[in-house]
């Protein structure tokens, strides 16, 4: 019995504070795969978070992960890959609803992300280690987002023929200047200070302070009224206590902010991409971003750019509905499966993108990603408000 519980992809416990209120602790528990998100993990988290939201004695939630390497490195793509191949082999690419697994996965993952964004109680997300793709989706909506000296955040979907989903269209558009577009195109990895600058995190706290933070949570006078303030004060104090851990840490996103704005402010995507890939840069962080864009899916670059423009004035719920349709089109077309094959399955890192160049991505072809087979009230995420 205990072995079965331990193997669950998400574990839950409750801690009792001194005043009798309880704190829910949710732990992503697939350390071997860097806590990659599976459908089972999504369902477990969604069910427990909803139960805690309805519990008047539950003051707040801690969202953390097993192991020291990663909070969450993204989605578990292997099962999705197999269903995409089946969809393609059956010749059902024209009907994005034909891949029922992809429909279920994206609907339930996006529901969970939206739940976190709109949660009625404070959520402390402890984003230690690698936080990528779907991991940022879990963390981005939390009310109190912590990064540590080992945090590395990225949305590298351009390398697998996808785009920054899980609400990425929302939070990338709300970053300073042109940072969101640059991160989407380059897949660049950022540390703690840059995560705060990009509005993906709220506090940089030394990982050594974690147990002290958890202990402090148990001594608070949780009352349901000022709980977010109590949590903020704990984290600000921990941030001050562990400030030395971040001294001298590089912050290339801030360092190159003016340059990034210059590169990405061109009127067209083609000009933006040309500006980036032809940049003569000595900085290794910039060089990696340039190389990632040059080798990435042209369709993904087009999508990232088009989505940020299209969704600029959309609500969060509208964006999740839009991303759901776009993600299913990605599953039905070729680049997403090909990117997973090249990076994860065969690991040859030689994807054959279709179209092969950005110039070959026509607006008519690209706009097909936004074709929605559902009328408004029938959309699977129509109830998000």
What homologous superfamily does CATH list for 2-378? Answer: 2-enoyl-CoA Hydratase; Chain A, domain 1 (3.90.226.10)
Over range 159-178, report the average pLDDT.
98
Backbone conformation region of residue 232, classed left if phi is above 0, alpha if psi is from -120 to 50, else beta: alpha
Supply the pLDDT for residue 4: 45
Backbone conformation region of residue 34, classed left if phi is above 0, alpha if psi is from -120 to 50, else beta: left
Over range 166-189, report the average pLDDT.
98
Per-residue pLDDT tens digits for 7-29: 899 999 999 999 999 999 999 99
Kindly name the residue from 46, 113, 157, 202 that is annotated as catalytic.
157
Domain boundaries, the chain: 2-378
Mean pLDDT over the full length of the chain: 96
Residue 233 has a CB neighbour count (10 Å cut-off) of 13
Q: Specify burial of residue 376 (Cβ count, 10 A radius: 0-12, 13-18, 19+).
A: exposed
Supply the pLDDT for residue 104: 98
Over range 286-301, report the average pLDDT.
98
Dihedral angle, C-alpha 195, 23, 133, 332, nearest 10 °: -150
Supply the pLDDT for residue 375: 85
Residue from 361, 369, 343 nearest 160 by CA: 343
Whether 127 is catalytic is: no
Residue/partner pairs of 363-369 with CB below 8 Å, 24 or more apart: 366/299, 366/302, 366/303, 366/306, 368/329, 369/303, 369/306, 369/325, 369/326, 369/329, 369/330
C-beta separation of 192 from 147 below 8 A: yes
Supply the pLDDT for residue 350: 97
- Cis peptide, bond prior to residue 355, ω within 30 of zero: yes
Kindly name the residue from 134, 137, 141, 168 that is annotated as catalytic.
134
Secondary structure (3-state) at 41: helix
Whether 165 is catalytic is: yes
Whether 75 is catalytic is: yes
Which run of H or of E encompasses 112? helix 100-117
C-beta separation of 238 from 205 below 8 A: yes
Q: Specify burial of residue 5 (Cβ count, 10 A radius: 0-12, 13-18, 19+).
A: exposed
Whether 157 is catalytic is: yes
Res. 3: pLDDT tops 50: no
Residue 67 has a CB neighbour count (10 Å cut-off) of 16
Pairwise CA distance, residues 179 & 186, whole Å: 10
> Which two structure tokens, joined as six digits, stand for 243?
């400030």
DSSP code string of 228-296: HHHHHHHHHHHHHHTGGGGTT---HHHHTHHHHHHHHTSSSHHHHHHHHHT-----HHHHHHHHHHHHS
Which run of H or of E encompasses 210? helix 210-217
Kindly name the residue from 24, 46, 74, 75 that is annotated as catalytic.
75
Per-residue pLDDT tens digits for 337-375: 999 999 999 999 999 999 999 999 999 999 999 999 998
Backbone angles phi, psi at 228, to 5 degrees: -65, -35
Pairwise CA distance, residues 207 & 198, whole Å: 21
Kindly name the residue from 76, 107, 165, 323 that is annotated as catalytic.
165
Res. 88: pLDDT tops 60: yes
Label residue 6 by pLDDT band (50, 70, 90): low
């Amino acid at each position: 019995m205990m072995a079965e519980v331990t193997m669950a992809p998400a574990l839950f416990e409750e801690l009792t504070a001194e005043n009798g209120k309880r704190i829910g602790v949710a732990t992503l528990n697939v350390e071997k795969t860097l806590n990659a998100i599976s459908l089972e993990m999504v369902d477990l988290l969604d069910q427990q978070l909803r139960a805690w939201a309805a519990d008047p004695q539950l003051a707040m939630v801690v969202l953390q992960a097993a192991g020291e390497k990663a909070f969450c490195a993204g989605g578990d793509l292997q099962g999705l890959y197999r269903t995409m191949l089946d969809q393609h082999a059956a010749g059902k690419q024209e009907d994005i609803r034909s891949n029922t697994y992809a429909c279920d996965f994206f609907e339930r993952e996006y529901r969970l992300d939206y739940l976190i964004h709109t949660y009625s109680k404070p959520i402390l997300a402890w984003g230690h280690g690698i936080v990528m793709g779907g991991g940022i989706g879990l963390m981005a909506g939390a009310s109190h987002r912590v990064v540590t000296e080992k945090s590395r955040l990225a949305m590298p979907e351009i390398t697998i023929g996808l785009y920054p989903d899980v609400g990425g269209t929302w939070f990338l558009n709300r970053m300073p200047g042109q940072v969101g577009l640059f991160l989407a195109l380059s897949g660049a990895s950022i540390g703690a200070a840059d995560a705060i600058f990009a509005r993906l995190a709220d506090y940089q706290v030394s990982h050594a302070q974690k147990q002290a933070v958890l202990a402090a949570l148990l001594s608070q006078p949780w009352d349901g009224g000022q709980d977010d303030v109590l949590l903020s004060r704990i984290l600000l104090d921990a941030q001050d206590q562990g400030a030395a851990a971040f001294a001298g840490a590089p912050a290339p996103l801030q360092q190159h902010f003016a340059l990034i704005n210059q590169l990405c402010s061109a009127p067209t995507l083609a000009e933006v991409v040309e500006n980036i890939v032809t940049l003569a840069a000595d900085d290794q962080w910039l060089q990696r971003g340039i190389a990632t864009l040059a080798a990435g899916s042209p369709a993904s670059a087009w999508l990232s750019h088009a989505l940020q423009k299209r969704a600029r004035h959309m609500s969060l719920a509208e964006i999740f509905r839009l991303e759901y349709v776009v993600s299913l089109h990605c599953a039905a077309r070729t680049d997403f499966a090909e990117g997973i094959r090249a990076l994860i399955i065969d690991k040859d890192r030689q994807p054959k993108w279709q179209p092969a160049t950005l110039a070959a991505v026509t607006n008519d072809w690209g706009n097909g990603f936004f074709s929605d087979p559902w009328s408004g009230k029938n959309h699977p995420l129509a109830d998000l408000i």
